[in-house]
Amino acid sequence: MFTPINFLIATATIVVLMLLHETAHYVSARMMNLRVIDFGLKMRGAVPYPFVEVGWTPNARKRLIYLMAGVATTASLFSLSLITSASWLIPGIYLGFAGQLVLETNPVFSDFVILQGMNSGKGKSDNDRMFTGPWYVHFALWVLLIVLLLSPRFLPGLLFAGA
């Protein structure tokens, strides 16, 4: 599975999934009448990345839906393709989905971290939240996800035996 051509396909897949992720944030914001301040492409060093910026809302439910819309889109697409045994889910595209899901759920700079930050109230920095008990639970679940998605003993082994 870890061949150069699969890595190339995975990179292209991740680019498409990132655009879909941000589109999901944008659509959810518009549907809930949140104020979209800006959206488009930003540069991080030499790497462009899509973004959506919305105004603050005191409504916790809206915050939750807005922030989880991106990862929910990726997870839904991935789950659907698995359930329907989609023919286009070749190893490279699978690797892209797995990589994107790992990125979107990481315990350091994902939407989950932003959500925790918004819900933990004022006066707590990212450093205060990191390396605590709940953070370690998130970290352990994330490690489990990496292993399940990328270890040939688990999902890739079941889907692409011998690939």
Q: CB nearer to other proteins: give 19 or 147.
A: 147
Q: CB nearer to other proteins: give 59 or 132.
A: 132
- Which H helix or E strand runs over 16? helix 4-31
CB of 2 to other proteins, least distance (A): 8
Q: Does 130 bind other proteins (CB under 8 A)?
A: yes
Q: Does 3 bind other proteins (CB under 8 A)?
A: no
Report the alpha-carbon distance of residue 154 to residue 36 in Å, rounded.
Answer: 41
Q: From the list 132, 137, 141, 163, which residue makes contact with other proteins (rule: CB under 8 A)? A: 132
For the beta carbon of residue 78, count every other beta carbon within 10 angstroms.
Answer: 21
CB of 127 to other proteins, least distance (A): 8
CB of 141 to other proteins, least distance (A): 13
Q: CB nearer to other proteins: give 36 or 158.
A: 158
Judge residue 134's burial from the number of C-beta atoms within 10 Å of its C-beta, 0-12 exposed, 13-18 middle, 19 or more buried: exposed
Q: Does 20 bind other proteins (CB under 8 A)?
A: no
Residue 102 sits at the vertex; the CA angle it makes with 101 and 106, to the nearest 5 degrees, is 115
Tally the residues of the chain: 163
How far, rounded to the nearest angstrom, does the alpha carbon of residue 161 sit from its chain's CA centroid? 26
Q: Does 147 bind other proteins (CB under 8 A)?
A: yes
Report the alpha-carbon distance of residue 69 to residue 49 in Å, rounded.
Answer: 18
| Residues of this chain that bind other proteins (CB under 8 A) | 127, 130-132, 136, 139, 143, 146-147, 150-153
